Amino acid sequence: MSLRRSLPALVGAVALTLGLPVAAAASAHAPTAVLNPCGFYETGSDAFYNHCTDDGSNVVIKVKVAWGPDYERCVGPGRSWLGAADKIQGAHYLGRTC
């Protein structure tokens, strides 16, 4: 067995022996990303657009509506509520700021 393959196993075994939370540290940021992914996403009842940015910019998105006309909306950094999940079909970035 090569050193490349055995080293991660050795590190994992040592961490378990010492009681170090290797898995918890590796996935510390994963729950936030799963709960608030970038772009359009839905929960069981609501639709959101999460504008992930480090520069504080506002962007224009197009919101696709199930039983009505689509519309454009300016959103800032972070999560924006778009409406009920059964009324919103999707949303995407239009490539411009506002």
Q: Average pLDDT per run of 10 along the chain, which is 98 residues long?
A: 47 49 45 74 95 95 96 97 96 96
Q: What is the pLDDT of residue 66?
A: 93
* Confidence at residue 8, expressed as pLDDT on a 0 to 100 scale: 53
**In the block, residue with structure tokens 């504080």:** 56
Residue of 9, 4, 17, 81 whose CA lies nearest to 43: 81
Reduce the DSSP state of residue 95 to 3 states and report it. strand
Check residue 36 and give its pLDDT: 75
Q: Which ranges of 1-97 would DSSP assign to H, the alpha helix? A: 3-18, 22-26, 30-35
The answer to whether the pTM exceeds 0.85 is no
Q: CA 11 to CA 30: how far, in whole Å?
A: 22
Compute the chain's Rg from CA coordinates.
21
Q: Which of 52, 55, 35, 32 is nearest to 43 (CA)?
A: 35
User: In angstroms, rounded to a whole number, what is the distance separating the alpha carbons of residues 56 and 84?
Assistant: 26
What's the confidence (pLDDT) of residue 52?
Answer: 95
Determine the pLDDT at residue 9: 55
Q: In the numeric block, which tokens belong to residue 31?
A: 């729950």
